[in-house]
Amino acid sequence: MGDGEIVLMNRLAAMQGQYDKGDIVMFHYFDADGDKTVVKRIIATEGDSIRILEDGVEVNGEIIEEPYTNGRTDGLVDMTVPADTVFVMGDNRETSFDSRNMGAIPCEDLKGKVFFRVYPFGEFGTVK
């Protein structure tokens, strides 16, 4: 997902806490420039062990398949995801500001699960 895209999200997922690895979620992030709406993919959930290695991202001892990524995945991550949080990463790995920088995201901050892309029209359809 990139800047300027228009998507639809399911807020019911946020109210019920229905998130899984691979889901694309929206949340607000606050920094020195103010509040930003962020869209990222859940890579690991509460209790999962996550490491970034030269050959990929390892969750619970298994390298995960990520056909949706663009660019090399770098970072120094070797952690267990804390309770009531998720570890998120952008699909454009080389330029993404995500849990590698901001840490795990509290589940209460998740606003919904993205399920459909409206714009750009050439990519109109279900989000995976």
Could you tell me if 64 and 41 are in contact, meaning their C-beta atoms sit under 8 angstroms apart? no
Q: What is the pLDDT of residue 123?
A: 57
- Look at the chain and count its residues: 128
Q: CA 125 to CA 128: how far, in whole Å?
A: 9
3-class DSSP string for the chain: CCCCCEEEEEHHHHHHCCCCCCCEEEEEEEECCEEEEEEEEEEEECCCEEEEECCEEEECCEECCCCCCECCCCCCCEEECCCCEEEEECCECCCCCCHHHHCCEEHHHEEEEEEEEEECHHHCEECC
Domains in the chain and their CATH numbers? 6-126 (2.10.109.10)
- Give this prediction's pTM: 0.82
* pLDDT tens column, 35-91: 778 889 999 999 999 999 988 899 999 999 999 898 889 989 999 999 999 999 999
Percent of the chain with pLDDT over 90: 39
**Distance between alpha carbon 7 and the CA centroid of its chain, in Å?**
15
